[in-house]
Every structure is written in C-alpha cells, then in structure tokens.
Structure 1
Amino acid sequence: MKNAGKFGLVLVGLTILVIALIDVTSDKQVDWTRTYDQRDKIPFGLYVVRQELPRILGEQGAEVTDVTATNYTYLRDFLRGKENSSLVYIVDQFYEGKEVTKELIAFAERGGEVFISSNSLPVNFLDTLGIEQHYYYPQNFDDVIDTKDRAFMLNDGRTAFYKDLEYPGLFYDLDTIGVSIIGYFEAEGREVPNFLEVKRGKGRFLLHLEPLMFTNYYFLQRRNFMYASSALKFITRQQVYWYDGHSTGQQARTPLRVLLQHAGLRQAWYILLFSLILFLLFRSKREQKAVPVIPPEPNLSREFAKTIATLYYESGHPGNLVQKKIEYFLYELRTHFQLDILKLEEEDFAQQLALKSGVALSLCEYITARVIRCKKTKISTDKELVELNKDIEEFKHNANML
C-alpha cells in the first residue's frame, strides 16, 4: 500500500511537470482575429477601450452601461425616455435591419446621440440620412499592396497612423444639410472623409468607418490612443450605452465557469481531475478488503472462581473450600518462589520462604504452621475459613504477590 501510494504521488508529480514544461515551451500563437469583443484581450478585441471609456468621458462625468440586445421591440422599449443619452456601436459590420435603423433615427430625432464605428453601414440607413459609403481603391493598382502607415486625422489636428488598412472606408455625396466632416484620411494628396457628424432632428449621428482604430493593438499606442480618445470625446451625453453584440445573455454564476474562463485555472482544474482519477484507480487496485474485527474471548476466570466458591459455601461444608484455598496458596508459593511444597512440614521451609519472599520469619512461620494445621483438619467452620483467607491475603500482600 505504501509503495503504491508513493508511486501514485510520483506519477502525479511527473504529470504536472510534463504539463508545465509543455506550457512553458509551447509556441503560443497570437490570435489576430478581429472579434471586436469587449471581453477579448487579443490584439483586435475591444477590452481596453471598453475599460477606458468611462475615464475618457470622465470630463463630462459620463456613465457607461452595457446593452446586450438591440432587436426592434427591445430597442423601442429601452430607448423610450432616454433622449438625453448616447448609444455606442463599435462593430465589424453594422447589420441592423430596417425597423431597428428606423428606431435609431427616431431616437436621434427626439434628441438622442448615436456613435457608430463600423466597416460598413446598411444601404437603407445611409439612404435615409442622405449619404453614401464606398471603399478607397488607388488609381494605380500597384498601390494596393502598399502596407506603409496611412495617416488618419481629426479636425482638431489629432493624427494617427495605421498600417493594416489597405482599403479604408469613405463617405461621399455629402451635400445633404446637417452633414459635417469631422475626420478624414490622406490618400494621393487628397483628404478623404471617413468620420461624419449627421444632425437629425434634436440629436445626431457620429458615423466612423474604421473600428480597427479602437482595438487593443492600436489603442495602446500613444499616438493612436490620442486619436481614438479624441474621436470618442465627440460623445457628449452624460449617460452612455455600449452595444455588446457578443453577449450570450445571462451566464451561469458557478465556480466552474470562472475556472474555465482563465487558462491557468483551467489547467489546474484538469490536472486535479486527472490526479483524482489516478488516485481512484490505484486505490481500487491496491486497497485490501475490509477485515472484520473479532473481539477476543472474555476472561471469565474471576466469575468462575466466584461461582465455585458460592457452590462450596452453599453446600454447607467449608472444609472442602479450606482445602482448595490451601492447595491454591501452595501452588502460588511454588510458582512465585520455586519452593518444594512437599517439604512443607520440614523445619527449614519457613526460613526458605522468608528468604525468598522477603517477609518476616515470624510471619512465615505463622502462616506455615497455620496451613499445616488446616490441611490436616478435615472439618472446618466458616469462621476458620474466613480467618485462613485473611491470613493468606495478608501474607500475599507483604510478599507482593497480589
């Protein structure tokens, strides 16, 4: 059992060591997926901008709250009475249908503010606002593969450079009343608009065509941070609602969910499960079956002696009990002091008993004489039996025989 337990511990330790070595030496590839998810800390997630947005808008004292659904019915009920707030979309594609876009336009006309940063906007939405969107393609086709940094600017002079935008989005046909250009990028010596303010009724839309600028990778670069934060500061309302399109709704609040969300805790959980399985396997193979406990037979010698004494006493012949008492006493003398009890009546027996027992010679002579006398007496009384027992017990006490 002990060897099996040690082997199991060694095997678990080796397993943990191998997993740790694999984890340390493995080449962890960077995930460049453009998720635009506020929970993702990968380069093209939105974790940083979502965390920093309340600080960026802190001068206005804005409060930021997540919105997890934007279907027509929900949006209509949610935005009712919130005309003094802002709704923020930073998404890859703005795919809202006609009913939702109508509700957003109605919300802006009542005084609301809508910030949208997306690579594309729906045609029906753009037609309603009286603008058009396209993508920039260089006149010289060889420039398509040019990956050098492209300058993006705001009207306040903030400038940032992005190298991953080969075909950035742009707005054109902007002769509609209420449309203002607040951001653009430079291409072939021209300023191409990609950030608009579109006033609608009492409110407005802020339309931005490159959400990549707000991802973790660019947002953590100082110059790009200044550009992105300045773009977000166009949001002027005190209450801001952030559209969380990747939310899966109400999530289970169990400890297991917390463990599985983090790589380190997840690995520790799997190691624990594997160790428990190994432990159960070795325990089931090596553990002996339960052995029933058999209690020892009780020592009933005392009860037996008491029963015999009672029988002798009740028979009315204490002489027999006296003889048994003497025989047992002589047996104890023989076993304790190796005396020859056949020489009981010899003159030197009492002296030998005194030497071996350490009892006074007078007491040894007395008990020897008493035993010889009682042994020769065939008829005894109860009184003589009690006196004999008292003398024997006194001698045994002095001789440390009890």
Structure 2
Amino acid sequence: MRNSARFGLILLGITVLIIAFIDLASDKQIDWSKTYDQRDKIPYGLYVTREELPEIMERPIQLEDFTSTNYDFLKTFLTGKEHSSLIYIVNGFYEGKEVTRELMNFVERGGEVFISTNNFPTYLMDTLGIRQQFHYPNNFNEVIHVEDRPFSLEDGKTAYYKDLDYPGLFCNLDTTNTRIIGYYDVEDKEIPNFIEVKRGQGRFLLHLEPLMFTNYYMLKEENFIYGAAALKLLSNKEIYWFDSTFKETAEAKTPLRVLLQNDGLRQAWYILLFCLILFLLFKSKREQRAISVIEPEPNLSKEFARTIASLYYESGNSGNLIQKKIEYFLYDIRTHFQLDILQLEDDVFAKQLSQKTGVSLEECEDLIRVLLSYRKVRTSTDAELIALNKRIEDFKHKANML
C-alpha cells in the first residue's frame, strides 16, 4: 500500500507540473468566432448587450428569452403578447414563410420586432416591399478606408466601425410606411442600413450588421452609445430576446461542463484521466490476485496399514497374517540387500544374509529356519503371530532396516 500511495502522489505531482507547463507555454489565442451567443464573452458574443439591456433602456422592463422559431411554438408563444417586443440579433435571419407570416400577424396586432442581421429572407423583403443589397465601391482597385466610415442615427449619434468592408444597405424603400433610422456615409452618399417599417398597429425595426451589438464594440464608449441608442427605440415594456444557440448549449448539463468549458481545466481533466489509466495499468501488473493455500494430501499409509491389519486380525485367521508377514519381510530383504529369496532354503543364503546385514550366522540360520517352518503352516495361534512379528522386528533393528 505504501508503494501504491507513493506512486499515486508522484503521478499527481507530475500532473500538476504538466498543467503548469501547458499554461505557461500555451499561446492563448483570441476566439474571433461570430457566435452571437448571449452567454459568450468572446469579442463577437452578445454577453455585454444582453446583460446591460435593462440599464440601456433606462426604464423598467421585463426581459425574457425565447428559444425556438418553430411555427407552432411561435404561434402559441405570441398569443396575448400583442404589446411586446422581440429582439433578433443573428448572423442570418433564415425563417420560412410560415414563421415570417406569423411575425407579420404579430406586428399587425401591435407587436414590435427588432432584427439585426446580415441577411433577410426574400419573402420578408418582398412582403414589406423593400430590397437588401451590399455596398461595393465603384472602383474595386481603390483602397477602402473603413475606419473613416461613420455610421449615424437620425438623432445625430455617430460611431465608427472597422472590419465592415462591404456593409449591407436597404433600397427601393416605400416612404409611406418606411422611415430611415440609421445610415452610413460613403462616396458622399447616405446609405440606409437601419429602417423602421410600419405594419398595422406595430412595426419592424430592421438593422443590417449585427456585429455592432457584440462585446467587441459595445465595450467601446462611442460604439456603446450608438448601439444603446438603437436598442432604446424599442418602446414596449415586455421584451423577448431570441436565444439562437440554446439548443447547442442546452446539451451541456453534466457536472463536468465547468471543466470542459474552460481550456485549462479541460486539459487538466484529460491529463488526470490519462495518469489514472497509467496508474491502473502499472498497479495491475505489480499486484497479483491472492493465491489460496492448498494443503498437500495427507499421508495415510499408516492408517491404511492399521486398517488392513485390523481386518485381518478380526477375520480370525492368524495363519494368513503370518504368511503375509513373511512375504513382506522377504520382499524387504530382497530390496535392501539384493538377495535372491528363491534360494532361501540354500545354505549359502544364510551366509550371504549374515554378511550383508552384520547379524551373526547362527541368528540368520535360526530366523530362516523359523520362516521356512511357518511358510508350510496354514493355521496358527495369535501367540505364534506375535512371537514371529517380534523376531522379524528385532532382526530388522539389528540389520538397520528400519
């Protein structure tokens, strides 16, 4: 356990060092993606505008979000909200005919729709009787001084925006229901890019270039004043902000979303997982599963011999036991001293036995004589069995056979 704990601490230390090295060595790039997401704090997100809108309006408002432009949802959602305002700040407004028609009905009943985008749908433009185009210089070879191009509102507020090389414009305007709210100066002309279109009891506020409301510009005083003045044109108390990226962000509801949304924490999380996998691999190789102790089979030879002897003894045939005792004794002599027991009755056998065992010749001859006599007897008494067994055991002791 101590080695495992030490190894884990070493891995933790290495992880911390790697994280510190990555944070110090990494070049934190600015994300210039045009997300138009009210939660994004990157340059082209809408966090500042969404958070500051209650202060921008300078009056009490009710600000909520709506997250779908599905026709059925929108029809139900807009019911009873005739005196409210909708805000769309998106890269492209690509709603279909049914949704556009429902927005028309909403405006005609007294609603207000503010749309800032780079592209409007053809159906909406045709219905309102206007056209959208992009301004291109007459001479494409001339250098465009973007920072010198002012964007102005009808109340006189002016701001300069860079990165807007070819801004959009409205044309073929019907002055009966349409009023120019904002424009930009180029080639000694005032090009409209922000208009009001009345429809029934309500109106559309159509603005070209949603970048003007992103964090990058709203954090600059001059641009903030321009953007705030444009949003102040909303006249209703109830304002509904269209959250175009809700479906994407709503999926990240896991407890790990804080780690995964932050670059440094996400790197640390992946490194920690990698180190844990390495730790488990090394730990599995260094430690084996406990092996159970298997006891060896007990030696039951003595118990077996005792059982067999008891069976022979209980059978009441001592002669049979004497015959078995003699046969086993002769087998031991043959294996210990390599003597031919078939020559047991020869005189030379006693001499060979005496020489190899160190027992006197007389005692060997007497033992052989007793063995030969009992080999021919089939019945005997218990006393004879005990006496023979004693003679054999004494001989084995003297001959070092035990």
> What range is the shorter-chain TM-score in?
0.5 to 0.7
Partner of 1:6: 6
Report the AA paired with residue 172 of structure 1.
Answer: C
2: CA distance, partners of 1:56 / 1:148: 26
2: CA distance, partners of 1:64 / 1:145: 40
2: CA distance, partners of 1:50 / 1:133: 27
Report the AA paired with residue 49 of structure 2.
Answer: V
Q: Secondary structure at the match of 1:285?
A: helix
Q: Does residue 231 of structure 2 align to residue 237 of structure 1?
A: no
Partner of 1:207: 206
Q: Does residue 283 of structure 2 align to residue 283 of structure 1?
A: yes
Q: CA deviation at 1:19?
A: 2.6
Partner of 2:18: 18
Q: Deviations over 1:251-297 (max 9, x none)?
A: 4643123332233433343344234334333433334655889xxxx
1: CA distance, partners of 2:29 / 2:259: 22
Number of aligned residue pairs: give it: 292
Partner of 1:52: 52
* 1:230-309 pair list within 5 angstroms: 230-248=229-247, 250-251=250-251, 253-287=253-287
Q: Deviations over 1:299-352 (max 9, x none)?
A: xxxxxxxxxxxxxxxxxxxxxxxxxxxxxxxxxxxxxxxxxxxxxxxxxxxxxx
Distance 1:156 1:251, change over 3 A: same
Q: CA deviation at 1:104?
A: 0.6
Q: Deviations over 1:332-383 (max 9, x none)?
A: xxxxxxxxxxxxxxxxxxxxxxxxxxxxxxxxxxxxxxxxxxxxxxxxxxxx
Partner of 1:296: none
Larger radius of gyration: 2
Q: Does residue 95 of structure 2 align to residue 83 of structure 1?
A: no
2: CA distance, partners of 1:174 / 1:165: 23
Q: Which stretch of the first structure deviates more once superposed, 95-104 or 4-13?
A: 4-13
2: CA distance, partners of 1:292 / 1:112: 81
Q: Does residue 98 of structure 2 align to residue 94 of structure 1?
A: no
Instruction: Compute the TM-score of the two structures, normalised by the length of structure 2.
Output: 0.68
Q: Deviations over 1:175-196 (max 9, x none)?
A: 3412111111010111111111
Distance 1:252 1:44, change over 3 A: closer
Asked if the contact 2:146–2:161 (Cα under 8 Å) also holds between the matched residues in 1, the reply is no
Partner of 2:62: 63
Asked if the contact 2:148–2:160 (Cα under 8 Å) also holds between the matched residues in 1, the reply is yes
Provide the alpha-carbon RMSD of the alignment. 2.2
Q: Deviations over 1:163-186 (max 9, x none)?
A: 111111111122341211111101
Distance 1:134 1:86, change over 3 A: same
Partner of 1:28: 28
Q: Deviations over 1:58-108 (max 9, x none)?
A: x23112111110121111111111001101000111111111111111100
Instruction: Compute the TM-score of the two structures, normalised by the length of structure 1.
Output: 0.68
Q: Secondary structure at the match of 1:255?
A: coil
2: CA distance, partners of 1:268 / 1:35: 26
* 1:182-193 pair list within 5 angstroms: 182-193=181-192
Q: Secondary structure at the match of 1:32?
A: coil
2: CA distance, partners of 1:27 / 1:271: 19
Distance 1:102 1:176, change over 3 A: farther
Asked if the contact 2:147–2:160 (Cα under 8 Å) also holds between the matched residues in 1, the reply is no
Q: Deviations over 1:17-58 (max 9, x none)?
A: 12321222111222212121222222111122112122212x
Q: Can you give the 5+ residue segments of structure 2 that lack an aligned partner in the other structure?
A: 294-402
Asked if the contact 1:144–1:166 (Cα under 8 Å) also holds between the matched residues in 2, the reply is no
Distance 1:149 1:14, change over 3 A: farther
* 1:142-161 pair list within 5 angstroms: 142-143=141-142, 145-161=144-160
Q: CA deviation at 1:231?
A: 0.5
Asked if the contact 1:138–1:144 (Cα under 8 Å) also holds between the matched residues in 2, the reply is no
Report the AA paired with residue 30 of structure 2.
Answer: V
Q: CA deviation at 1:16?
A: 2.4
Asked if the contact 1:150–1:165 (Cα under 8 Å) also holds between the matched residues in 2, the reply is no
2: CA distance, partners of 1:90 / 1:252: 23
Partner of 1:127: 126
Q: CA deviation at 1:145?
A: 4.5
Asked if the contact 2:23–2:264 (Cα under 8 Å) also holds between the matched residues in 1, the reply is no
Report the AA paired with residue 240 of structure 1.
Answer: I
Partner of 2:307: none
Report the AA paired with residue 46 of structure 2.
Answer: L
Asked if the contact 2:19–2:264 (Cα under 8 Å) also holds between the matched residues in 1, the reply is no
1: CA distance, partners of 2:91 / 2:120: 10
Distance 1:246 1:75, change over 3 A: same
Asked if the contact 1:4–1:282 (Cα under 8 Å) also holds between the matched residues in 2, the reply is no
Asked if the contact 1:66–1:243 (Cα under 8 Å) also holds between the matched residues in 2, the reply is yes
